[in-house]
Amino acid sequence: MDPVVQIFLAGSLILILLLVTTTTVASVEQKADNNTLGMPINSPAYPVPPYQFTDREYFIITYETDPAALEKVVPYPLKVVEPIVKYEFIRMPDSSGLGDYTESGQVIPVEFNGTKGLFLLSMYLDNEPAILAGREIWGFPKKYGLPSLGVDPVSKDTLVGRLYYGELEVARGTMGYKWQTLPTDDIKESLENTPNYLIKIIPDVDGSLKIHQLVSYHLSNVTVKGAWTGPTDLELFRHALAPVADLPVKKVLSGVHFVSDLTLLPGTVEYDYQT
């Protein structure tokens, strides 16, 4: 073959390889930037929010606890308003992008810059995409657990919420099933207008702290389909890795059970602990 032709073909081959490589890298970068928030980049664990929840069922037990114990777990610049905790069992059978799961944990009424809100201390659930999306995007304090919510299959007259961590029960809430109907307007207003606060902590690749933020989020498009109350009780059991009993139950104040549709909106950074 003519040497000039050989040089031309070799140069063309190198150019083609460079174009293919550049296009492939650009394609991967574009895919990671535009279409995914999680890993692996070719099959992310969750889609881009917002997320829509249909027939989301709540059982919330409000109780009085030890003020000193609350002060230990509520971070600056949030302020404890009163020695109150809301223990939640939440059934989510239809969550866009995340699927079907149940969640349980503790929420603390707080104040931030003069506005009352809720600080989410702990959340235990049985769904990997929801755990990963919640922790990585907003900073939800999610860990894997085994919560449940439903009517007692034996007595058939009691709403029962349970949380197991491994094989051990760490929380149990009970309520007389739909003893009294509640108005839904106040619940809807509270869900839509109350700011919710999270502490987002993400480490860097060397194990040092990369992100440490106070994050707020809101709910929207809320429809409350029904709400009820009844005689309510709550028991918490001590566990080293699911320490819900560190905020002990001194007195149960109220219980509410309701079903709603809603949208979980993206969050806002309210305070950066590293600046």
Residues tagged active-site: 142
Peptide bond into 40 cis (omega under 30): yes
Question: How far does CA 74 lie from the centroid of its chain?
Answer: 17
Peptide bond into 75 cis (omega under 30): no
Contact assessment for residue 46 and residue 127, using Cβ atoms and an 8 Å cutoff: no
3-state secondary structure the chain: CCHHHHHHHHHHHHHHHHHHHHHHHHHHHHHHHHCCCCCCCCCCCCCCCCEEEEEEEEEEEEEECCHHHHHHHCCCCCEECCCEEEEEEEEEEEECCCEEEEEEEEEEEEEECCEEEEEEEEEEECCHHHHHHHHHHHCCCEEECEEEEEECCCCCCEEEEEEEECCEEEEEEEEECCCEECCCHHHHHHHHHCCEEEEEEEECCCCCEEEEEEEEECEEEEEEEEEEECCEEEEECCCCCCCHHHCCCCEEEEEEEEEEEEEECCCEEEEECCC
Which residue matches tokens 């992008």?
97
